[in-house]
Amino acid sequence: MNDSIAMLEPAIEAMSVQELAASRERSWLLQWEYVRAHSRFYQSKFGRAASATLPLERLADLPLTDKGELRDSVRRHPPFGDHLSCGETEVTRLHRTSGTTGDAINIVWTEQDAGVTARVGARALFAAGLRPTDRVVHCLNYCLWTGGLTDHLSLEATGATVVPFGVGNTRRLLQTIDELGITAISCTPSYPALLEQVLTETSGRKPRELGLRLALFGGEAGLDNEDFRQGLEQRWGFAVRNANYGLSEVLSLFAGQCPFTNDLHFHAGDVVFAELIDPKNNATLPIEPGSSGELVLTNLYRQAQPLVRYRTGDIVTIAAIEPCPCGRTSWRFRVVGRTDDMFNVRGINVFPAAIFEVLAAAGDLTSGHFRVTLRGPGPYDRIEMQVEAALGLAADKFDGAAAKLEKLVRDRIGAGCDIAMVEHMSLPRTDGKTSWIERPE
């Protein structure tokens, strides 16, 4: 078999739409029985509806769940909230959300929850090209956030040899890649720029000389931008994959790219039910090519903190629903932005991810790092932001670069902006999710 169309769990990943729907219905009915029997949160939230049998086709009859409710649940019933649906002795691991959009939430898993999470994440990483023959260095932060340990275990579940490096000590990382014959790297898309800078300063070597064949990226947007991807691939010689899309509260890693598409496969169709809604009126939208809306997720296998109709805050566009050339039958999508990051400039809705798309295509002017400053509640007259200069761009070129970037943003997004250029590497890098918005008090 062509290695690019190999699958980790072909019985599930190549399952027909009809078979998957039937399997999902059976799983949901069992999960619904569990939720209404054990979740005090949903017993209270759903009221009389929690006493009735409910097929998936009627799931939209239930109200949505949002992150604010989970925060309130944890405040009322610390430390895990009344959406904890198992005994505390059954909890085997605790994580915490990044807190980029508010107070962090404690997330706990049973042994079964952790196993399902690792298995689905491994599907995504295997689909992206990771194999048992690889040695992959994992460069996300090993802390309470799920990206470190949880993604490490998903990497292991592919059969690959995982080197748990974490963040920092860039020179040692480059030495480790050389010494251990590392073939793949798991990190944020912005991290290779720092590696490249240190590599140039310390040895004058080119990134291609490290011999990496695969880069598994997550935690930041921008990989839909072809110029950005091609620039990375040309300089490093590795295949670029957006292989790490997920949501800590639902399933840490459940979507990613394969070699045949730049869209994200939804790899969790057997354990998570997905809906699409209009964020303005919460109306259900069809999952069909061209549909855009907020992604809403429901756990089908979750013991500790199962969620029903959970609003992700991510606006996605459905790209395809037919089988992919890789053989997987999962539908594919692109992430457009976040409902909580969107802001309005003179009647135009602006997503930071769209700004990144513009900046990432101007690699001669900027590294792609930026921060938007939002003063007051809006709407706003112009976009105010700092943009980091490209490596080697002289300070006397900053004004010209800012003018060119302002025009690019205006032409592509339709909103005027005021850009202040800052020195290369002066904006903070991230260990996980990047917050592009600053709101001064």
CATH number at residue 159: 3.40.50.12780
One domain, residues 348 and 236: no
One domain, residues 307 and 326: yes
Number of domains in the chain: 2
Which of 2-6, 42-46, 87-91 shows the lowest mean pLDDT across its residues? 2-6
Last-in-domain residue among 337, 363, 378: 337
Q: Which helix (H) or strand (E) holds 152?
A: helix 149-157
Query: pLDDT by residue (tens digit) across 302-342?
Result: 999 999 999 999 999 999 999 999 999 999 999 988 887 78
The letter for the amino acid at 231 is G
Q: Give the residue among 183, 236, 245, 198 at the shortest CA–CA distance from 217.
A: 245
One domain, residues 132 and 71: yes
Spatial distance between the Cα atoms of 46 and 62, rounded to a whole number of angstroms: 7
CB contact set of 260 (below 8 Å; sequence gap of 6+): 4, 324, 325, 326
What is the band of 222 on the pLDDT scale with cuts at 50, 70, 90?
low
Spatial distance between the Cα atoms of 297 and 82, rounded to a whole number of angstroms: 19
One domain, residues 365 and 329: no
One domain, residues 311 and 386: no
Is 176 in contact with 163 (CB distance < 8 Å)?
Answer: yes
Last-in-domain residue among 316, 337, 358: 337
pTM of the predicted structure, to 2 decimals: 0.86
One domain, residues 321 and 423: no
One domain, residues 238 and 350: no
Specify the pLDDT at position 188: 87
Last-in-domain residue among 293, 322, 337: 337
Q: How far apart are the first and last CA of the chain?
A: 58
The letter for the amino acid at 186 is S
| Per-chain mean pLDDT for the chain | 92
One domain, residues 416 and 288: no
Query: pLDDT by residue (tens digit) across 104-153?
Result: 789 999 999 999 999 999 999 999 999 999 999 999 989 898 889 999 99
Is 327 in contact with 348 (CB distance < 8 Å)?
Answer: no
Spatial distance between the Cα atoms of 94 and 96, rounded to a whole number of angstroms: 7
Spatial distance between the Cα atoms of 388 and 91, rounded to a whole number of angstroms: 43
One domain, residues 287 and 429: no
Instruction: Provide the residue range defining the domain that includes 363.
Output: 343-438
One domain, residues 117 and 201: yes
One domain, residues 144 and 233: yes
Query: pLDDT by residue (tens digit) across 380-395?
Result: 999 999 999 998 899 9
One domain, residues 97 and 240: yes
